[in-house]
Copies of this chain bind each other. A is one copy, B any other.
Amino acid sequence: MTNRIGLFGFGVVGQGYYEIAKNHRPALLPETIVVQNKNKKRDHSLQFSFDPKDILDDPCDIGIELISDPAQAYDYVSSLLKSGKKVISANKKMLSAHLPALLELEKTYGGSLLYEASAAAGIPIITCLDCHFAGDDISKLQGILNGSSNYILTRLFQDDLSLQEAVKLAQENGFAEADPTLDINGSDVSSKLTILSLHAFGRYIPEGEILTIGVQHVHAADVALAKSLGLKIKLIATAQKDKEGLNLHILPTLVGDNDPLFLVENEYNAAKITSQNLGEQFFQGKGAGSLPTGASVYADLTKAEKGYGYSYDKLNGKKITTELPQAASLEVIISADSPDALHPVIGSASIHQANGRYWAISTVSTAELIKRLPAIEANKLSIVALNNTISEDNVLAQIQRQETVNIS
C-alpha cells in the first residue's frame, strides 16, 4: 500500500525529512511539494508547486505541514483535516494556539493529526507521553525544550562568552534564527509546554498564561555565581500538578550535578517526567537541526501509515477545556544594574551589592511575576530560580563572598 504524500514547505525541517525518506524508503517521499517563494534558490532536480490547491484539492492520503507562518499553517492543516486526511505538522505556535479546534476537526471528520517534531525535535516525547504513559498519573514534567537557549547557556558557562557573543555563535552554527527573539525570550518553550501539558495532564493551558522568562537577561555575574556554587543555569520549563490544577513556569534555573539535566549541553533538549507507575523517566536528545527534526516527521509518517493516532489518554474521552495555571511560589535570585530596578519585584527582601550588580533573594509568586513582566523587561532584571538546589543562606553567603571579585 503506497500513500500519496503532499508536503507544504521545504525549509530546514522539510529537507531533513526529504533526505531521510530518499535514503531509506523513497515510497515515503512527497508526490507534491508546495512552497511559497518563487524566487528562492532551490534544488533544480526537484519539482515544486506554488499552488496549495495542488495538495488541498488533490486526493492525497497524508499531508505534511512544515511552513513557518502559523496562520497559513492553520489554514492548511484544518483544511486537510476537514477532508478527513492524515496530517503531520511541526508548527508549535500554530498547534499551541489551535489544538482544541484541531482535535474537534479530527474527531468530526475522521482524520488524524500527529506532531512529534513540534516539541523537543528529535526526542519522541509526545508519542511516549501519549502511548507509554497511558494508564499512568503524571505529577511533574520538567524539561530543557529550546536548543538555541541551551546552546547559548552552554557557551556562557564553557567559553565565558557574553550573551550577545553566544547568540551570534548560535546563529552562525544554525542553532538560532536570524531573528532569535522567540528562542531567547522563551516564547518557543511556552508553545511546547502547552502542547506537552495537554498530553501529560489532559489540560489545555494557553501559552500566554504561562510565566515565561527567557535567557535574554542572564548576566555574566549570574554565570560566575552559579559556577562558584558548583551549579549550572538552564532554561527549565516546569509543569507540576497540585490539587487545584497545574503550576507552569519557564525561567532560568539553577541545576546541580545530581540532576540529569546538568549534563544536557549545546543544542540538546531533555525531559524528565515523574509518574505513579514509572517513577522518574528521563529523555535526552537533539532539540534542533534538520535531520533530528526531520526524523521526527519521518517517524510520524510511519505511524500515520499504520493508522496510528494519538489517544490523548489523559483527556479520558472528554472535550478539551481551556484552563488557567495555578500560581506557584518560586525562590529566585534577582539581580540588576541598579537597586531601584529591584524594588518593584523583591518585596521586603534586602539588597546586596556584589560584582558591580545589585542582588536580592526572594520568594515570589508566578502570578506576581507575570504582572511584573513589563518592568522586568524594561529594567533587564535577571531572574534565576533556586530549584531546591541550594539554600537561600548559602547563595547569600556566596554573593557576599564575591563582593570583592571583579566581573568584567
> Which residues of A line the B interface, CB within 8 A?
16, 20-21, 23-25, 28, 116, 122-124, 127-128, 131-136, 257-260, 263, 268, 276-286, 289, 291-292, 294-296, 298-299, 302-303, 306-309, 311, 313
Which residue of chain B has its CB nearest to the CB of A24? B135
Chain B residues whose C-beta falls within 8 Å of the C-beta of A289 in the assembled complex? 279
Partner of A306, one of B123, B282, B284, B307: B307
Those 4 A-B pairs whose CB atoms lie nearest each other, nearest first? A24-B135, A282-B284, A277-B295, A124-B132
A20 touches B135 (CB 8 A): yes
A282 touches B281 (CB 8 A): no
Which residue of chain B has its CB nearest to the CB of A272? B284
Q: Is the interface of A mostly helix, strand, loop or mixed?
A: mixed
Chain B residues whose C-beta falls within 8 Å of the C-beta of A28 in the assembled complex? 135
CB distance from A151 to the nearest CB of B (A): 13
B122 touches A277 (CB 8 A): yes
Which residue of chain B has its CB nearest to the CB of A298? B135
B285 touches A278 (CB 8 A): yes
Chain B residues whose C-beta falls within 8 Å of the C-beta of A285 in the assembled complex? 278-282
Chain B residues whose C-beta falls within 8 Å of the C-beta of A283 in the assembled complex? 281-284
20 A–B pairs (Cβ distance < 8 Å), ordered by A: A16-B277, A20-B135, A20-B136, A20-B277, A24-B136, A122-B279, A134-B298, A135-B298, A260-B260, A260-B263, A277-B294, A279-B286, A280-B285, A281-B284, A282-B283, A282-B285, A302-B313, A306-B307, A306-B311, A307-B307
With A277-B295, A279-B122, A281-B284: A131-B303 Cβ-Cβ less than 8 Å: yes
A302 touches B311 (CB 8 A): yes
A295 touches B122 (CB 8 A): no
CB distance from A201 to the nearest CB of B (A): 15
B311 touches A134 (CB 8 A): no
Chain B residues whose C-beta falls within 8 Å of the C-beta of A268 in the assembled complex? 279-280
Chain B residues whose C-beta falls within 8 Å of the C-beta of A303 in the assembled complex? 131
Chain B residues whose C-beta falls within 8 Å of the C-beta of A131 in the assembled complex? 124, 127, 299, 302-303
Chain B residues whose C-beta falls within 8 Å of the C-beta of A299 in the assembled complex? 131-135
A292 touches B278 (CB 8 A): yes
Which residue of chain B has its CB nearest to the CB of A17? B135
With A124-B132, A258-B263, A302-B311: A282-B282 Cβ-Cβ less than 8 Å: yes
Q: How far is the CA of A277 from the CA of B302 in the complex (A)?
A: 16
Chain B residues whose C-beta falls within 8 Å of the C-beta of A257 in the assembled complex? 257
Partner of A136, one of B276, B280, B295, B307: B295
Chain B residues whose C-beta falls within 8 Å of the C-beta of A307 in the assembled complex? 306-307
Chain B residues whose C-beta falls within 8 Å of the C-beta of A258 in the assembled complex? 263
B122 touches A281 (CB 8 A): yes
With A128-B128, A306-B308, A308-B306: A135-B21 Cβ-Cβ less than 8 Å: yes
Partner of A291, one of B278, B282, B308: B278
Which residue of chain B has its CB nearest to the CB of A294? B277
Chain B residues whose C-beta falls within 8 Å of the C-beta of A132 in the assembled complex? 116, 124, 127, 295-296, 299
Q: How far is the CA of A257 from the CA of B256 in the complex (A)?
A: 13
A268-B280, A302-B313 given; name 9 further pairs at CB < 8 Å. A24-B134, A124-B131, A134-B302, A135-B298, A279-B292, A280-B286, A281-B286, A282-B285, A306-B308
